[in-house]
Structure 1
């Protein structure tokens, strides 16, 4: 009996030590903004001083557009997720996109405020800075949550909505990226603060794609490097604590602007029934489902999804 117990204890000690060594070998310290800008802030990127932050932003297309299109990315993404859409839309429309507080090159919000109300206020602050009175807001996941919340809290500033696998209602996921699980766990997020092997990032990105084979190493590298921006990992944990689905959801039926809802049928993070609920509660909205795509259909198949947007705008 004692020999068996000693064997189990020895196994556990080896296991813990092995895991500790693995974590140590994959520790990656935060990187300062200056180390990341050369690669990830190429023209037309600019930085604007706003609300105590240096906000990474791209503003493309004709400036005489009366209702510019603002593209809002999701959790752990960046303005680069919209590259495919921006290339097409900016030919005829003014297209504005930026890294949200807590993500990309913008980094943490100085007051550590990541409530949905603060994010909606941030969008309006960017609009004010750029002299935009009224805009079409398009958002994916958290960005969709921010887009429709802005329409609820600041209705005079939103002309139309495009919701792409948007968050907002409470939901149960079929599968959650492992990086999100670690960030949301109160103990793991502290113990594994600097632990971020590239394989973990790759696994998380593939988790939100309908076809994981489309995830390139260049794409993984972008998500990986931008997650290392100084302060982003701590901010991500706070984002999950503060921006819970459900806030303002009772006001969704009050949205009156024309709304297009795009959804990937293979979304394992936010299931399609959430898109159907948006479609039911936003009067006159249109729902388009893409059978082979996942949680980020605009990134996975930019052409098919932006074609739906062009039809909606026309």
Structure 2
């Protein structure tokens, strides 16, 4: 058990070994879904705030964090969404709120298509949007023996601190702990195998006509200085999603839970518990 009272354990879901952190009580349930090359660590600054008002389930997605780097799992957004639905079923959660960051936003949106009856609302933080799948020549090349070494080299061109500079507006927040935590995946061989499978299986972000069929209430929160997923994506999403609103924060980058945890928490509360 962690210092903030969350239980930490591994669970088997659809034959995948998943790491999760959770605290379940009589409060409304909230599922936290991290983004690309990240983990539940993404939410470390908002979990202590959220647990005052919610039951919490945070999961490391297959291929990331402490979860299994499976070489049989199909790393598509739809499969990730199905897996997260199985997770909330396993924990017996209903009427769940979903907070999802970056790539996790696409997983949450797919969940809203597959099982809207299980979701109360979505809170998407700097969500990925409108990205196309990888081009077929790149997918074909990914099956060649040298490709894993190429991915290793490509990611390693920049050090962890450089990657963090890209996701923060306030560079002063970057410290040794962050560099260590976000650098962990780069030392795991299984991480690169999972990335290659994600490259092959990722079916592309949802198209406008698909988004227009999602009726789940959605709050979009964005950093105006996001260099990874520009705020223009948020403006397009709020036009396509029928029941969405967009809030933006000045002088804030992509890793919004690190830069504005109290403000994110405040906006989540307004959108969820206080809405009824």
* TM-score, length basis structure 1: 0.76
Alignment partner, residue 148 of structure 2:
190
Q: Distance in 1 between matches of 2:88 and 2:271?
A: 23
Alignment partner, residue 306 of structure 1:
265
Unmatched 5+ stretches in structure 1:
1-38, 172-184
Deviation at 1:158, TM superposition (A): 1.1
Residues 108-143 of structure 1 show CA distances to partners (whole Å, capped at 9, x for unaligned) of 234241111101001011111111133111101111
Deviation at 1:79, TM superposition (A): 0.4
Alignment partner, residue 164 of structure 1:
125
Alignment partner, residue 220 of structure 1:
179
Unmatched 5+ stretches in structure 2:
133-140
Alignment partner, residue 91 of structure 2:
130
The number of residues matched between the two structures is: 260
Query: Does 2:26 match 1:64?
Result: yes
When the two chains are superposed, the root-mean-square deviation of aligned CA atoms in Å is 2.5
Cα distance change, pair 48–275 in 1 and its aligned pair in 2 (3 A):
same
Q: How does 1:1-314 map to 2 (within 5 A)?
A: 44-60=7-23, 62-65=24-27, 67-170=28-131, 189-192=147-150, 200-247=159-206, 249-313=208-272, 314=274
SS, match of residue 44 in structure 2: helix
* TM-score, length basis structure 2: 0.85
Pick the structure with greater CA Rg. 1
Residues 231-265 of structure 1 show CA distances to partners (whole Å, capped at 9, x for unaligned) of 11221232133224334542111111221100111
Deviation at 1:194, TM superposition (A): 5.3
Alignment partner, residue 15 of structure 1:
none
Q: Contact 1:208–1:294 at 8 Å: present in 2 too?
A: yes
Q: Distance in 2 between matches of 1:244 and 1:200?
A: 29
Q: Distance in 1 between matches of 2:69 and 2:106?
A: 19
Q: Distance in 1 between matches of 2:202 and 2:129?
A: 9
Q: Distance in 2 between matches of 1:110 and 1:189?
A: 16
Worse-matched range after superposition: 223-232 or 153-162: 223-232
Q: Distance in 2 between matches of 1:132 and 1:227?
A: 33
